Amino acid sequence: MPLGERGGWERSESRFCGVETEFSDDVPSLLSFNISTGGFDYVLAPLMDPLYRPSLVEANGGSETQVLPFSGSDLVLSPSQWSSHVVGKISSWIDLDSEDEVLRMDSETTLKQEIAWATHLSLQACLLPTPKGTSCANYARCVNQILQGLTTLQLWLRVPLVKSDGDSVDATSEGLTDSWELWNSFRLLCEHDSKLSVALDVMSTLPSETSLGRWMGESVRAAIISTDSFLTNARGFPCLSKRHQKLIAGFFDHAVQVVVSGKPVHNLPKASDSNTEDTQRHPLRSYLDYVAYLFQKMEPLPEQERIELGYRDFLQAPLQPLMDNLEAQTYETFERDSIKYIQYQRAVAKALVDRVPDEKSSELTTVLMVVGAGRGPLVRASLQAAEETGRKMKVYAVEKNPNAVVTLHNLVKMEGWEGVVTIISCDMRFWSAPEKADILVSELLGSFGDNELSPECLDGAQRFLKPDGISIPSSYTSFIQPVTASKLYNDVKAQKDLAHFETAYVVKLHSVAKLAPSQSVFTFTHPNFSTKANNQRYKKLEFNLPRDAGSALVHGFAGYFDSVLYKDVHLGIEPTTATPNMFSWFPIFFPLRKPVEVHPDSPLEVHFWRCCGSSKVWYEWSVSSPTPSPMHNTNGRSYWVGL
């Protein structure tokens, strides 16, 4: 029974909770006890008798007649029961990197037999045991061979969630100081296969916040919580520490399923009249109830987040607003963003008041040009600013899309703006204005600020701005930050070509770990009357991971912008200063062809270029340290924005 229904969470995989069980050759009873009685959604159960060793069978002769000691026939459950209610647990004794050749060969044979059986049963996933030593090359090689042949079965590698503080010697008994390193080497040996994920063993003590944050960008599928990681509340029931609760809430938000493991360690208070029920009650039920309680107390998703659920970690090619005319649906989406237009209205109102003193408000008329007027939201915001400030205004609405111009004409007629608004159906770069403007208003910004050619458009349009005229926006800056983003990297890799690794994508970032604070890249200021105006840019940046974070894999860079509309009125999506409740822009993502492993003691050095040609503008990017990456998108060969 799922953990509960909660506003916006009902679509999340995390509403299912499993239980880890011992081997049983009576699978129907195992399911009945744990699912019907216990209330869990699935069992994490061994598929093979733990005493089985292929070499012993051979030694006794008769490997041809021997029936493999699986947990019963495939017929004991229906195919849908196997698929929905059982996650296979590969024998935990296997050690494919053992010095003992017999054990190593037995392990390899057994692993392949169990995966073959799980595939036969149409299981959705199998749990691989934690690698035994620091070297896992042979284990990873065998798993990688298996992955090549899988279609639907997912493999979860069990990894303990540990990270000792660099100086302390009290690492785990296996000598593991940072389990992320173990996972990273295993997944790199398996070529970043998207069918390989992580199941984290959550311990009673947790690593630092920043260290835990790395896992949010990895493909974590399950969090296995041992009963001895639970505390006891005042009523004697199991509960988790505040830090554990926060971690589990983060997992729920990232579609990670919780699995309860271990024997009950809480002596629960007995209810007076529930003797009959007590005999039926599952020994781990109180742990499940607590996990369900944590799930149900999650805040409902805000309305806008629910609308955007389908866009989470979904790669979209950026708009080409100069080359292509936008469709009605795109305009519709942008126009719904009321916060953005409130900010524009505030900026225009301040500019009008600065431009025209109160005593001259009845005689002076401000000429305002909206360049790239679309279907008119900026025209409306500007006229509302004029009404609010009591200033007289004349508006030119310049728009190159003939389809949007039709809507503009109807809007002007419907609102009775004929005497105030003049519509110009023309590209702003080629229009000859009959008079100079006091204020130039535009919404040409992309997710990375200048990536929809705002600088080129406004340079072309500023010739009809008075020397002391105001541009709204007056400046904008792009920002980047390194991220771990396994899902995005795998989605790009699935395209199997270079071009997709050299394209910047607009994406609603979700399963992403932000590894260091963002830094500014390029800034543009308008108007720019300099005779040496040049929109080419180059920036070298150096990022340092927090010391307690541990190492991380950088799959690419998240990009944002922040803009000053006018004076103290700003608009942007850079996380630390983002305009609240605004949804017109998702961040941009610049992938790396080969992910770069970064350690806290070695800075990440990144280079970004904005290049301009006669017919296009493009970005090039590369990493020079700690390991050099190839140059991405040379000459705009894969991704560019057309002029």
What is the Cα–Cα distance from 369 to 321, expressed in whole angstroms?
A: 19
Contact 187, 215 (CB under 8 A): no
H or E segment at 108? Answer: helix 101-120
Contact 181, 164 (CB under 8 A): no
**Residue 74 annotated as binding?**
no
Answer yes or no: 101 catalytic. no
∠ CA(188), CA(192), CA(221), 5° rounding?
110
Answer yes or no: 387 catalytic. no
Residue appearing with tokens 């040496």: 532
Contact 345, 384 (CB under 8 A): yes
Q: Which residues of 242-255 are buried (b: 16+ CB within 10 A; e: fewer)?
A: eebeebbbbbbbbb
Choice among 452, 502, 574, 620 that is catalytic: 452
Residue type at 343?
Q
Helix (H, G, I), strand (E, B) or coil at 606: strand
Contact 290, 256 (CB under 8 A): no
Q: Locate 423 and state its tokens.
A: 């519509």
Residues 6+ apart with CB under 8 A from 218: 183, 198, 484, 486, 513
Nearest to 339 by CA among 13, 572, 530, 146: 572
The runs of H, that is alpha helices, within 298-374 are 303-307, 328-335, 338-355
What is the Cα–Cα distance from 151 to 15, expressed in whole angstroms?
A: 25
**Residue 344 annotated as binding?**
no
Region at 175 (left for phi over 0; alpha for psi -120 to 50; beta for the rest): left
HSE-CB at 436 with a 13 A cutoff on CA atoms is 10
Contact 258, 202 (CB under 8 A): no
> φ, ψ for residue 284 (rounded to 5)?
-105, 10
What is the Cα–Cα distance from 558 to 505, expressed in whole angstroms?
A: 10
Region at 28 (left for phi over 0; alpha for psi -120 to 50; beta for the rest): alpha
**Residue 548 annotated as binding?**
no
Contact 357, 588 (CB under 8 A): no
Q: Locate 296 and state its tokens.
A: 């149900």
Q: Locate 200 and state its tokens.
A: 């984290």
Contact 212, 247 (CB under 8 A): yes
**Residue 393 annotated as binding?**
no
∠ CA(500), CA(502), CA(506), 5° rounding?
75
Nearest to 454 by CA among 565, 602, 607, 300: 565
Q: What is the DSSP letter of 34?
A: I
Choice among 20, 108, 443, 574 that is catalytic: 443
**Residue 428 annotated as binding?**
yes
What is the Cα–Cα distance from 575 to 515, expressed in whole angstroms?
A: 13
Residue appearing with tokens 């009290």: 170
What is the Cα–Cα distance from 101 to 104, expressed in whole angstroms?
A: 5
**Residue 341 annotated as binding?**
yes
H or E segment at 438? Answer: strand 437-441
User: Distance from CA of residue 240 to its chain's centroid?
Assistant: 27
Burial class (CB in 10 A: 0-12, 13-18, 19+), 214: buried
Residues 6+ apart with CB under 8 A from 69: 48, 49, 51, 52
User: Distance from CA of residue 568 to its chain's centroid?
Assistant: 31
List residues forming the annotated binding site for S-adenosyl-L-methionine. 331, 340-341, 399, 427-428
Residues designated catalytic = 443, 452
List residues forming the annotated binding site. 331, 340-341, 399, 427-428
